[in-house]
Amino acid sequence: MTVDTRSIADKAPQPERHVAVVVVGAGAAGVAAAIEAARAGVEVLLIDENPIDNDMMAMDVPLYFGQRMQASVRNRALMMERVVATNPALAEAHEAGVDVQLGTYVWGAFVNGPTVRELPGPMLGLADDRRSWLVGYDRLIVAAGRATWPWASRAGSAPARWERTAPSLSSPAIARSARSAWSSSARETWASGRPPWRSRAAWPSRESSRSHTPCVATRRSRRSLASRGVPFYTAHTIREARGRVGEIESVVLVQIDGDLNPVAGSEREIACDTVCLALGLAPNVELLHLVGARLVFASALGGWVPAIDDAMQTSVPTVFAAGDCAGVHDGMLADPDIARVQGRLAGIAAAQSLGAVTPKVPLPTARSGQGAGAAVHTHWQQWLRSLIQAGGWEVNICQCEEVTRRELVEVKPPRYLKWESPQMDARSLDTMLRDGPVNQDQIKRLTRAGMGPCQSRRCREQVGLLVAQATGTSIDRIPLPSFRPPIRPLPLNVLWPTDEPPAMREEWVSWFGIPTQFSPHWEAGMAIAEPTAQTRLILSDE
């Protein structure tokens, strides 16, 4: 049979290593999964991206560092020490024979399908801060955690941003408080049937004697906060964050009425050096999307989650999901055992599916904690509305591409094009809605919101909610925007392969290499060779 030597045939990449089970994410679920599979006698590779490289810290991969990283985060050894110290279960995994690789990103997942057939098998793209490589797997357990909510707000004249919680690396006390505070707020709010009151508590920061740390808190914690002298504001939202470059100096709170409108004259400026955001969590489903696992919308589980069975198996038989990435809610924040049990189930199921005999362990069913959440998106919608009504429309919703809330709903072409057109001016979400359901990918292409270096990790949920709000569409009807590899932004000289097969280099063409394709059609039959790597570069000499 003839083979097109310019095609991928016979030069598909080979993974440099193959492992029976790869577990992505070394949190409670991932470590538990890895230990169970290893104890069943299966070869297990456990990967976690932390400690991440300094450059990645502003990219909102699931641990958050805010904007006030100190020089110590550049100290890899120290960061590694911290990661290990805050996760004692890693030692247990190591004892069980798990190959633990920290500081390793998963930037891609590649599987064969209708339009990709050349791969020798499913594989992950991995990288550290120096190089990238490919690892093949038989079973993949995704325990990639969740992303916290990055709410953009008006930030005075300075681009100060809000701090988010960094559970293992900033003050654990603050993170824990913030998380547990969030964990009951939504439910209590709606159970009480009151308008969405939002609470701010400020207590002396343990990290700084200079100032205070405003933080979301709840009625339940109100009493304990009050007993420590912590002011506590309900029915307030944040109008503005003020500060210098890289530092926050104060926030302006404003009271909101039953319609979420700011109450004139109720502004209150509070000096602070940190803002903890603990508004909500969204399952991290990037990898699950890439392997083609079916995702369903479940507001009580934080949004888009993989469809899984009782053994944590996704719609792709070789892929399992466990922990927060499979759906997250208040109860899971309070009780890490829920994620741990899910991890164990996934580890056992993956090992069994490879023929391993696992010891009989009494386990609660996977769903014991899964359904315990309350729907969160209505609560988030209210938050967004209060922020817009208090802070206005000129706030960037996409920080990378600097697209404002107004530009998004008016579907404005990006400012850098310096392009005005009556046709585009006439377009808006309303006119798009007449053409069919609005989807976020379309909005990305037209406004560039979500197209920057963070690839919408910081604005995905907010854009979705704003589009839903502006078009009167139920949030579950707004399709999940696509994730494209690399799901971690990697430098060209890290992503590149150092081991290209000779055929890849020698037979490389920029386009199809069809001899007649670039011949003038009036000179039929004339065949010219397509420019290849050997062709000299010609620059104009204007």
Partner 1 sequence: MLGVSLPLAPARVEMIATEPLPLMRHGGVAGNGLYGRQTLRGNLVYGGGPHEWINVPDMATPDHPNTPLVRNLARRLAELLPGAAHLRVIRAWGGIVENTPDGLPVIDRPRRPDNVILATMSSVGFGLSPAAGKGISELAMHGRCLFADLSALALSRFADTPPDWRERAGWIPTTASVAETAAGGSR
Name residues contacting partner 1, limited to 285-304 (CB under 8 A): 290-292
Site for partner 1 in 256-285 (CB under 8 A): none
Considering the complex, state which of residue 194 and residue 511 has its C-beta at the smaller distance from partner 1: 511
252 DSSP β-pair partners: 240, 269
From 245, 362, 416, 420, residue interacting with partner 1 (rule: CB under 8 A): 416
Interface with partner 1 includes 423 (CB under 8 A)? no
Min CB(483)–partner 1 separation in Å: 9
Please give the Cα distance from 279 to 276 (Å, whole number).
9
Q: Is 20 helix (H, G, I), strand (E, B) or coil?
A: strand
Q: Does the protein bind partner 1 through residue 485 (CB under 8 A)?
A: yes
Give the other-Cβ count within 10 Å of 536's Cβ.
5
What is the footprint of partner 1 within residues 318-337 (CB under 8 A)?
318-319
Q: Which stretch binds partner 1 (CB under 8 A): 39-47, 81-89, 317-325, 359-367?
A: 317-325
Query: Which three-class secondary structure state does DSSP give residue 184?
Result: helix
Question: 362, 341 in Cβ contact below 8 A?
Answer: no
Instruction: Decide whether 56 or 217 has the Cβ nearer to partner 1.
Output: 56
Q: Is 157 in the site for partner 1 (CB under 8 A)?
A: no
Cα distance between residue 158 and residue 180, in whole Å: 31
Q: Report 389-408 residues binding partner 1 (CB under 8 A).
A: 401
For residue 429, what are the contacts with CB-CB under 8 A and spacing of at least 6?
Answer: 409, 410, 411, 438, 467, 470, 471
Q: Is 118 in the site for partner 1 (CB under 8 A)?
A: yes
Among 168, 414, 427, 446, indicate the residue that binds partner 1 (CB under 8 A): 414
Q: Which of 61, 241, 252, 490 binds partner 1 (CB under 8 A)?
A: 490
Output the CA–CA distances (angstroms, integers) from residue 431 to 82, 105, 421, 424, in the order listed.
52, 41, 16, 11
Residue 500 touches partner 1, criterion: CB under 8 A: yes
377: its two tokens:
């998106």
Residue 526 sits in the site that holds partner 1 (CB under 8 A) = no
Residue 23 as a binder of partner 1 (CB under 8 A): the answer is no
531 counts as binding partner 1 under rule CB under 8 A: yes
3-class SS at 236?
Answer: strand
Residues 170-199 that bind partner 1 (CB under 8 A): none
Q: Which of residues 453-482 bind partner 1 (CB under 8 A)?
A: 453, 455
Q: Which is nearer to partner 1, 28 or 291 (CB)?
A: 291
Do the beta carbons of residue 127 and residue 490 sit within 8 Å?
yes
Give the whole-angstrom CA distance, residue 484 versus residue 287: 10
CB 144 within 8 A of CB 325: yes
DSSP for residue 233: E
| Residue choice 74, 269, 517, 526 for contact with partner 1 (CB under 8 A) | 517
- The token duo for 485 is 């590899």
Task: Count other Cβ atoms within 10 Å, centred on residue 512.
Answer: 12
Q: Name which of 241 and 326 has its Cβ closer to partner 1.
A: 326
Q: Which of 150, 243, 452, 464 binds partner 1 (CB under 8 A)?
A: 452
Q: What is the helix (H) or strand (E) element at residue 388, kind and residue range?
A: helix 377-391
Of 178-186, 267-275, 280-288, 483-491, the segment contacting partner 1 by CB under 8 A is: 483-491
Identity of the residue, 231 or 479, whose beta carbon is nearer to partner 1 in the bound complex: 479
Smallest gap from Cβ 409 to partner 1, in A, equals: 21
Residue 31 has φ and ψ, to the nearest 5°, of -65, -45
Q: Where are the alpha helices (DSSP H) in 231-373?
A: 286-290, 330-334, 336-353
71 binds partner 1 (CB under 8 A): no
C-alpha–C-alpha distance, residues 398 and 458, integer Å: 7
From the number of C-beta atoms within 10 Å of its C-beta (0-12, 13-18, 19+), residue 178 rates as: buried
Nearer to partner 1, 327 or 452 (CB): 452
> Does 20 interact with partner 1 (rule: CB under 8 A)?
no
Q: Which of 245, 264, 357, 492 binds partner 1 (CB under 8 A)?
A: 492
Name the residue type at position 74. Answer: R
State the amino acid at position 63 in one-letter form. L
Q: Which is nearer to partner 1, 263 or 417 (CB)?
A: 417
Distance CA 371, CA 345 (A): 17
**Closer residue to partner 1, CB minimum distance, 1 or 77:** 1
The minimum distance between CB 481 and partner 1, in angstroms, equals: 12
Q: Does residue 413 touch partner 1 according to CB under 8 A? A: no
Q: How far is the CB of 86 from partner 1 (least distance, A)?
A: 28
Residue 245 three-state SS: coil
Dist CA 219 CA 231 (whole Å): 12
CB under 8 A: which stretch of 6-14, 62-70, 93-101, 246-254 binds partner 1? 6-14
Binding span for partner 1 by CB under 8 A among 80-88, 259-267, 464-472, 524-532: 524-532
Q: Which stretch binds partner 1 (CB under 8 A): 181-189, 404-412, 426-434, 533-541?
A: 533-541
- d(CA 19, CA 393) in angstroms, rounded, equals 50
Encode 390-420 in three state secondary structure: HHCCCCEEECCCCEEHHHHHCCCCCHHHCCC
